[in-house]
Amino acid sequence: MPILSDRETQQALLENRNILVVDDEEPIRRLLGYMLQTHGYTVTLAADAREARQRMDEQPFALMLCDVNMPGESGMDLVRNLFADRPHIAAIMVTGLDSSVLANAALDMGAFGYIVKPFESNEVLIDVANALRRRRLEMENRLHRDNLEEIVRTRTMALQQALEWLERSEKELRLSREETIERLAIAAEFRDSSTAQHIQRMSHYCELLARKLGLAPDRVDLIRTASPMHDIGKIGTPDHVLLKPGKFTAAEFDVISQHAEIGYKILSGSDSELLKVAAIIAWTHHERYDGTGYPRKLKGEEIPIEGRIASIADNFDALTTARVYKPAFDFEHARDLMIKERGKHFDPELLDLFLSAPEDLRRIHEQYTDSSKQDSTAA
């Protein structure tokens, strides 16, 4: 027998249409078997729980129709143990007792349906089709979630290893730390069609605002150096979500919003002050001043100053440059849009400081203009 890969095994489980019918009454199990076989299903019959286990050891099944009351081990016990040992098999309970208590117990246990004898052919076929459809959706969802977790785990581990190496060599690499951080940031930014120029603009906008706020020069430099890492968590975002040009669904937004938490987990826990600031920026640059942001819905000055600065800089650059979902807006239009969010999305005092330096903003934008894009923002 050929050895299947994990992907091939998962695909085989998804496409499985084998059904196991377990009932101690031979006429009932034969009737169920006949009904299902005539509609294209492959059916195996078993008279009790012991024989059912034997059949499951011989081949995989997608669904089991199981009588509730049988000699020896009951159908409820069989199904309960089945879910623990064989999570890929769905189950429908079949019984002669029309009891809402028993039905609810079966559904709470994880059964996909509850059929009362005597039953109609259409009732059985509809329940079977619905159970197989639900099983497939749940397996696809579980497989997608496992794949996403593995991607995040692998990429996070690789980045953590790179950062650990960076810390061990911090003394020797101090002079080149800004270049190293920039290249790590590009690993995330490049995936959503941004460029190194976005990182440069964003970091210099942060520096400008931090300086106008009157922060100490070493703190200003630390924010400028750390801010390119703000979206490093996107390394764990699947391409089909990250590169989507249209509006996100609620589920897709939940996925993309995880990049703030992922970025924080990658960068936090270091003794390096630079990485501490980078972790704070990654975690908080999507918080909103009115408390409606993510991931923690911080409000006002609960948001660290680094996060409030990065939020303004990042949004200004997003507005004034072309993205997959929008063209570049000119400076005046971008300014008007941000003013509308004063006190809602943005810290009002910081926003006023930022917008009070239009010539500096234009200089930064023009100095680091994307060479592959033609913007009209300086017009």
The yes-or-no answer on residue 234 being catalytic is yes
The rounded distance, in Å, linking the Cα atoms of 307 and 313 is 10
* Catalytically annotated residue among 171, 212, 234, 297: 234
Structural contact between residues 93 and 114, judged by C-beta atoms closer than 8 angstroms: yes
- List, by residue number, the catalytic residues: 234
